[in-house]
Chain A
Amino acid sequence: MHLSGLTVSTGGPAMVERDEELLELTADFLQETAEGLAQVEELLSGPADAAKVDSIFRVFHTIKGVAGLLELPQLVALAHTTETLLNQYREGKKAVAPDWLFDAVAHHRSMLKGLEAAVAAGVALAHHGPVDGFIAQLKEEIERDEALPAKPVEREAAPTAGARALKETLKVDAERIDTLVEMMGELIVTEAMVANSPEVLAIGAPRVRKSLDQLGKMCRYLHELAMRLRMVPVRGLFQKAVRIVHELSKQTGKEVGLEREGEDVELDRGVVDRLEEPLVHMLRNALDHGIEPKAEREAAGKAGRATLRLRALHESGQVVIEITDDGRGLQRDAIVKRARERGLISPDAELSDAEVCNLIFLPGFSTAQKVSELSGRGVGMDVVLRQVQAMHGRVTLSSAEGRGTTIRLTLPLTLAVINGMLVSCAGERYIIPSLAVVEALRPEPQMWATAGQRAEVLNLRGELLEVVRLAPLLGAQRREDGTALTVVVEGGGKKVALVVDDVLSEQQIVIKPLSEGAQAADLFSGVAILPDGRAGLILDIDRVVGRSAAPLAEARA
């Protein structure tokens, strides 16, 4: 039976059963092989010893076995040939050449992709032309004699230090977990609604109060636990970086070593998935713009081999992912010149360092002299910014000319929950994501100043900030009694003083998408359920800062 049989269901009950079995087997195979290949890449990222070659060999051996079972002859041939080459490495007939293995992994991946698509479409797996070519090349490499020092690869008796203890895991349908997380989210909202209702607040009996407290605690604990079910380590993402850097350094001819740190840091699966594209753009940017050619590096007294550092860490309830290169850094003059040419800034504008950094996040901006295969088309960093902002995260960039650039992504642990500051404004309540809040204060009268009776400035310990009043921006009445609270927020690299009526609380907020029909209002990034059960809008601070100059045309009754 060929794969085309997978979806045929006309062969009677026995046939159907077999098809379902095969489908399940194929799904498992796809997942396990993807994991195996990722493992191979990780093993290849360091120096190869005998134990590693053995582990890599086992991965391809398994692929060969299962592919045979699933009747995928071309994949069997590919795995088999790779295995033969690995065997030569094991026997010490050849020195390990990681490039061959990286390529083999890539070809396995493209076949798996084809298989996935074929299964989804219910057709047989098509023959992959390029794979045949690669198998032929591999065979040539196998035939080639290599004069090698007689000693085979050294074997170690003990397992390598890098081996991780295997934890027991359970495969669960992602949909079930999502439903569970959603229900738990609703449970904490309902719990808060009950606990905060005036009737329940009026109950004074200590026994009831204590039980209610306990109930609330349990709900929050359960919710947290449910959230953690969706968390995965960033290891998989970092492994992809290994592959991308390997590819890019081949394409650019620049020698680059990738250091990884904090691979065990966990993030929501949804966040990790959506980081893939930004990661590619950032790595491309680093390799193409940041890191200089070897000759230039050596002339500047740097090591010829560049170092990229990928780091994940926890920081006050958020996760930070950092990419640091030791390249030439942002070239301030080139960026400003380019921005002037493109009319993005006025010819005589004086920009701060932070403003210069922000220019590279504009759509269509690139200082690359020529469009290369890698970058320079002006898409890239704006994609990074957009993707991260869509997840309620933040991008910051720092650079030292001649010494390198660091891009820092600050991300929420999950897509569903953020920390937010609940503020009131003209009788309504809005949420400011805590990530955007610098500080909240009640300014002294002498800190305020106006120009032309309208443009307000706040003097915050010597730092002059533009003042944005939230009420007129939202088409509401402005409160004039001077007791207003000011929240200093940062968006799009600019700090402004946002005037609200009061800060009510700071809490974890479950985000819901703003439904169609209400999304015309682009000052908001989403909506949340407040503790009393009402819907509350989440302010998109980047837009608030950007829109400060143009308030809504009219107030609604």
Chain B
Amino acid sequence: MSATATQKYMTFRLAHETYGLPILKVRELIGALEVTRVPGAPAFVRGVVNLRGRVIPVTDLSLKLGIEGGGKSEQPVIIVVHSEKGPMGLWVDEVLEVVTFEASQIEPPTCISAAAFDLSVLSGIGKAEARLVFLLELDRALAAAALPQGSAP
């Protein structure tokens, strides 16, 4: 990730943690109402949803990243992203605001123990006023094997 320019991130909540994705990767937000369960699919696949005639899979990002207590929000949102494999929905607990980070506000994730969290899915840690935002590398996060719950930082 280029460390020189400012970049906008869509921030969202998984359980009690805040994560961010580059806004350019985000296609749109949809309400998490009409997901059809796919029996036999991996547990992190919430199901499929009709996005204006196109059927896209929805991944439960908390399950995918092994974040315990996530995916149980009463008003979940699906973030439709441009992934390597085409449009895909990410099931998150709540969408927060769009944050602009200067390069100087982003730290490398060296302060996180690799034993506790898969560092390859993080591009950095953004320091916002009120909190820290863990910035995700979208395609690596989607490619990562689902972590067992409880191994989150």
Binding site for B on A (CB under 8 A): 182, 185-186, 189-190, 428, 473-476, 512-518, 520-524, 527, 529, 533-537, 552, 556
Most buried by A among B37, B39, B54, B88: B39
Interface of chain B residues 40 through 89 with chain A (CB within 8 A): 40-43, 45, 47-50, 52-57, 59, 85-86, 88
Pair A533/B50 contact, Cβ less than 8 Å: yes
Across-interface contacts of B43 in A (CB, < 8 A): 556
Across-interface contacts of A428 in B (CB, < 8 A): 36-37
Known: A514-B55, A537-B36. A520 touches B50 (CB 8 A): no
Apart from A182-B53, A535-B36, list 14 A-B contacts with CB within 8 A: A186-B52, A512-B54, A514-B38, A514-B48, A515-B85, A515-B86, A516-B57, A517-B59, A518-B38, A518-B41, A520-B45, A524-B38, A535-B49, A556-B39
Q: Is B34 an interface residue (CB 8 A)?
A: yes
Known: A514-B55, A518-B57. A474 touches B48 (CB 8 A): no
Known: A518-B45, A518-B48, A520-B45. A535 touches B55 (CB 8 A): yes
Pair B48/A515 contact, Cβ less than 8 Å: yes
Interface SS majority for chain B: strand
A545 to chain B, nearest CB (A): 16
Q: How far is the CA of A40 from the CA of B59 in the complex (A)?
A: 56
Q: How far is the CA of A207 from the CA of B54 in the complex (A)?
A: 33
Across-interface contacts of A475 in B (CB, < 8 A): 39-40
11 A-B pairs within 8 Å (CB atoms) are namely: A185-B53, A474-B40, A512-B54, A512-B55, A514-B55, A515-B55, A515-B57, A515-B85, A515-B86, A517-B85, A533-B34
Pair A534/B85 contact, Cβ less than 8 Å: no
Partner of A534, one of B36, B42, B45, B53: B36
B103 to chain A, nearest CB (A): 33
A9 to chain B, nearest CB (A): 33
Residue of A nearest to B48 (CB): A535
Known: A518-B48, A534-B34, A534-B50. A529 touches B55 (CB 8 A): yes
Partner of A537, one of B38, B49, B54, B56: B38
Residue of B nearest to A182 (CB): B53
Most buried by B among A518, A521, A529: A518
Known: A514-B48, A514-B55, A515-B86. A536 touches B34 (CB 8 A): no
A418 to chain B, nearest CB (A): 15
Across-interface contacts of A535 in B (CB, < 8 A): 34, 36, 47-50, 55
Q: How far is the CA of A80 from the CA of B36 in the complex (A)?
A: 63
B148 to chain A, nearest CB (A): 16
B76 to chain A, nearest CB (A): 15
Q: How far is the CA of A182 from the CA of B52 in the complex (A)?
A: 12
Across-interface contacts of A520 in B (CB, < 8 A): 40-42, 45
Most buried by A among B43, B47, B53, B56: B53
Across-interface contacts of B47 in A (CB, < 8 A): 518, 535
Residue of B nearest to A534 (CB): B34
Known: A185-B53, A529-B50, A534-B50. A517 touches B39 (CB 8 A): no
Across-interface contacts of A524 in B (CB, < 8 A): 38
Across-interface contacts of A523 in B (CB, < 8 A): 39-40
Pair B53/A186 contact, Cβ less than 8 Å: yes
Across-interface contacts of B34 in A (CB, < 8 A): 533-535
